[in-house]
């Protein structure tokens, strides 16, 4: 049975809303049945028409949607809701949905602030429902292969982690002219306290922790605002300390002119290293200390089950961003169905980012900001 999905946000001009809808549809595990796509009721209705939804289930506000859907019978109401709004509209809808019995899948970062994220986590725990966070890059097959190789000791004891996320799209003062994506991401009232560190820095930090299996414990950060007139950071860098004394470096910048979305991770142990790049996501490089570089490719028979289970096509057929996003939706669907049938145990049994990781992401933003403002060399990072 398909899961009946509602959506909050994702109206006209939304980038991420369309991505969520495509990801949810890819494996035919969801059926979008309702939505509150904009705070403007007319824009919400417009999106509903474009998606060919029942006009009676296209709502003018998220609270109207949640109350109305909760009043429907069990066979018709939505079962889960995707929240794809700007950050300041994450907490209210998520908590209300959970309190009314709906599972939640939400875009990152989890919340507007660390305090709000903590309240959301409490709501998840009280409800016992499924909550997933779309840290997209954890869905790539070769990222999962890298995680598998690290966990099985292929590169030995970890020593060094580099993660970089350069973009160039905010090189100019786009928000001055009202460009929608730039306007809310650079507005402290809608984005929260972090600019680049929240938008893409959280992705970089999550990727490093996900693949290495280690938590960041300290940061020594510098945040910059390079474009005159911008209200939030557009450039961030930090030295990192991980558990077990592992050293790291993180860069997240949106003013690297000429760059597209060039996320890259390199991890080194005492037996070799691994390298993965979003520019070529179907390739993973293994660099043994005592041998030639080995090229791992998505879809190949020698990969682990962790990678094979989220691969849809034979080797040589590229899979990308939508597929990675869909892998998170697919795992979320398994958890929701298990919950409905009484088989659900805990979020840890499913390979998707959870509320715990969402809270860590918000703590990462606040720790980076605090470190950058501090005269001390290192700032503790703990949740």
Q: Render pLDDT for 260-287 as a digit per residue (tens, 0 to 9).
A: 999 999 999 999 999 999 999 999 999 9
β-strands 216-224, 379-380 pairing: antiparallel
Answer yes or no: same fold for 3-137+326-353 and 138-313+362-373.
Answer: no
Spans of the chain, pLDDT less than 70: none
State which fold the 3-137+326-353 domain adopts.
Answer: Rossmann fold (3.40.50)
> Which pLDDT belongs to residue 345?
86
Quote the crossing angle between the two packed helices 91-99 and 114-127, to the nearest 10°.
10
Residue 342, C-beta contacts closer than 8 angstroms, at least 6 positions apart: none
Q: Where are the domains of the chain?
A: 3-137+326-353, 138-313+362-373
Both tokens assigned to 263: 């996320």
> Which pLDDT belongs to residue 187?
96
Longest dimension (CA), the chain: 65
State which fold the 138-313+362-373 domain adopts.
Answer: Dihydrodipicolinate Reductase; domain 2 (3.30.360)
> Which pLDDT belongs to residue 343?
95
> Which pLDDT belongs to residue 346?
86
> Which pLDDT belongs to residue 63?
97
């Amino acid at each position: 049975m398909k899961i009946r999905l509602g959506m909050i946000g994702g109206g006209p001009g939304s980038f991420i809303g369309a991505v969520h809808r495509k990801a949810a549809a890819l494996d035919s595990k969801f059926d979008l049945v309702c939505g509150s796509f904009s705070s403007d009721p007319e824009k919400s209705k417009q999106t509903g028409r474009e998606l060919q939804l029942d006009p009676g289930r296209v709502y003018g506000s998220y609270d109207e949607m949640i109350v109305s859907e909760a009043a429907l019978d069990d066979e018709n109401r939505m079962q889960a809701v995707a929240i794809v709004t700007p950050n300041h509209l994450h907490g209210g809808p998520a908590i209300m949905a959970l309190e009314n019995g709906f599972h939640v899948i939400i875009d990152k970062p989890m919340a507007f602030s660390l305090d709000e994220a903590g309240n959301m986590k409490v709501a998840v725990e009280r409800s016992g429902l499924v909550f997933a966070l779309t840290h997209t890059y954890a869905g790539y097959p070769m990222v999962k292969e890298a995680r598998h190789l690290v966990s099985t000791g292929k590169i030995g004891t970890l020593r060094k982690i580099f993660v970089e996320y350069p973009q160039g799209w905010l090189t100019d003062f786009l928000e001055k002219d009202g460009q929608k994506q730039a306007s809310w991401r650079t507005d402290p009232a809608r984005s929260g306290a972090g600019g680049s560190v929240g938008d893409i820095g959280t992705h970089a930090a999550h990727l490093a922790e996900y693949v290495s299996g280690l938590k960041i414990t300290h940061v020594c950060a510098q945040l910059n605002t390079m474009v005159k007139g911008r209200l939030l950071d557009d450039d961030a860098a930090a030295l990192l300390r991980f558990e077990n004394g592992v050293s790291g470096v993180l860069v997240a910048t949106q003013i690297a002119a000429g760059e597209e979305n060039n996320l890259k991770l390199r991890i080194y142990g005492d037996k070799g290293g691994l390298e993965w790049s979003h520019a070529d996501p179907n390739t993973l490089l293994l660099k043994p200390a005592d041998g030639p570089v080995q090229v791992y490719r998505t879809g190949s028979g020698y990969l682990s089950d962790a990678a094979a289970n989220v691969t849809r096509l034979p080797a040589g057929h590229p899979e990308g961003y939508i597929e990675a996003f869909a892998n998170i939706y697919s795992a979320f669907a398994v958890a929701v169905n298990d919950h409905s049938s009484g088989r659900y145990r805990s979020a840890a049994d499913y390979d998707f980012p959870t509320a715990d990781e969402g809270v860590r992401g918000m703590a990462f933003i606040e720790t980076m900001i605090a470190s950058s403002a501090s005269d001390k060399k290192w700032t503790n990072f703990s949740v």
